[in-house]
């Protein structure tokens, strides 16, 4: 679905990107993020546990909006939608994947890293794009530089965004939200440090756009 109403993204300034190795961590992780004020999460499809983790969060923590990230091919769209994903995120978006995301019954945030890719996705009808990997691809200066030539496209930068630079990204008028793993890094999830995750979520949730 084209993200004409980017509801999942405007709920919070920061979308935690999480990689879950053990399904048992999914619900405490989602609760920890919610306790810190972050009600949107992107669960990456990078582990065998990912889709079961999505199902567990949707069943047990209904106040959290669950996106599925690292969607690489049309079959991932099918699996994510079957698991109940509220929205879909891709790191990059070849044409076949763009079509599958547009045809999906939930909103999508397709990834791009160049002006040409952004234009192709905008022509497809996607008004909000993931800018990935934001840091290596040009970061804040890139987003500033494209604001005038691409006035109708807004971005969710992800990849190299962290607690030190998130505010600089969020200050840009073409940035709707930022994403990143710094709020709930894999080591913190593995260590069961849910209090630390809540503390970082609280700081992230307080950032202003």
Binding site for ligand 3PG (CB under 6 A): 17, 44, 69-70, 91, 132, 158-161, 179-182
Nearer to ligand 3PG, 148 or 185 (CB): 185
Compute the least distance from the CB of residue 179 to ligand 3PG, in Å.
Answer: 5
Of 73 and 151, the one with the shorter C-beta distance to ligand 3PG is: 73
Catalytic residue list contains 144: no
| Sign (positive or negative) of CA dihedral 40, 42, 47, 51 | positive
Cis ω before 133 (30° cut-off from 0): yes
* Between 139 and 148, CB nearer to ligand 3PG: 139
CB atoms closer than 10 angstroms to residue 131: 31
Alpha helices (H) along the chain? 7-10, 26-35, 50-60, 74-83, 95-103, 115-124, 134-137, 139-147, 166-170, 186-190, 194-205
Question: At closest approach, how far in Å is the CB of 113 from ligand 3PG?
Answer: 12
130 an active-site residue? yes
What lies within 8 Å, CB to CB, of 121 at 6+ separation is 93, 98, 110, 112, 129
The Cα 102–Cα 81 span in angstroms is: 13
Residue tagged 């600089």 (tokens): 168
Q: Which residue of the set 21, 95, 117, 130 is catalytic?
A: 130
From the CB of 15, what's the least distance to ligand 3PG, in Å?
A: 9
Provide, for the chain, the percentages of residues in helix, strand and coil under a 3-state DSSP scheme, each rounded to the nearest 5: 45, 15, 40
Q: How far is the CB of 148 from ligand 3PG (least distance, A)?
A: 26
State which residue, 48 or 62, has the beta carbon closest to ligand 3PG.
48
* Closest separation in Å from C-beta 129 to ligand 3PG: 13
Looking at the Cβ atoms of 68 and 153, the one nearer to ligand 3PG is: 68
Sign of CA dihedral 144, 153, 137, 176: positive
Of the candidates 21, 42, 60, 144, the residue annotated as catalytic is 42
- Helices 74-83 and 95-103, packing angle to 10 deg: 30
Please list the active-site residues: 42, 130
């Amino acid at each position: 679905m084209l993200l004409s109403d980017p509801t999942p993204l405007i709920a919070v300034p920061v979308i935690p990107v999480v990689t879950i190795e053990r399904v048992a961590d999914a619900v405490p992780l989602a609760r920890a993020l919610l306790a810190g004020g972050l009600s949107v999460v992107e669960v990456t499809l990078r582990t065998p546990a990912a889709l079961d983790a999505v199902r567990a969060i949707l069943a047990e923590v209904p106040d959290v909006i669950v996106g599925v990230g690292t969607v690489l091919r049309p079959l991932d769209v099918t699996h994510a939608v079957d698991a109940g994903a509220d929205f879909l995120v891709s790191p990059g978006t070849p044409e076949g994947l763009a079509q599958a995301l547009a045809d999906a019954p939930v909103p999508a945030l397709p990834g791009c890293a160049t002006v040409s890719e952004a234009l192709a996705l905008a022509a497809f009808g996607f008004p909000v794009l993931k800018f990935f990997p934001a840091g290596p691809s040009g970061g804040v200066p890139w987003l500033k530089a494209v604001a005038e030539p691409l006035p109708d496209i807004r971005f969710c930068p992800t990849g190299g965004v962290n607690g030190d630079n998130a505010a600089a990204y969020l200050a840009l008028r073409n940035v709707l939200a930022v994403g990143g793993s710094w709020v709930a890094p894999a080591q913190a999830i593995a260590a069961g440090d849910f209090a630390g995750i809540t503390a970082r979520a609280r700081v992230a949730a307080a950032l202003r756009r």
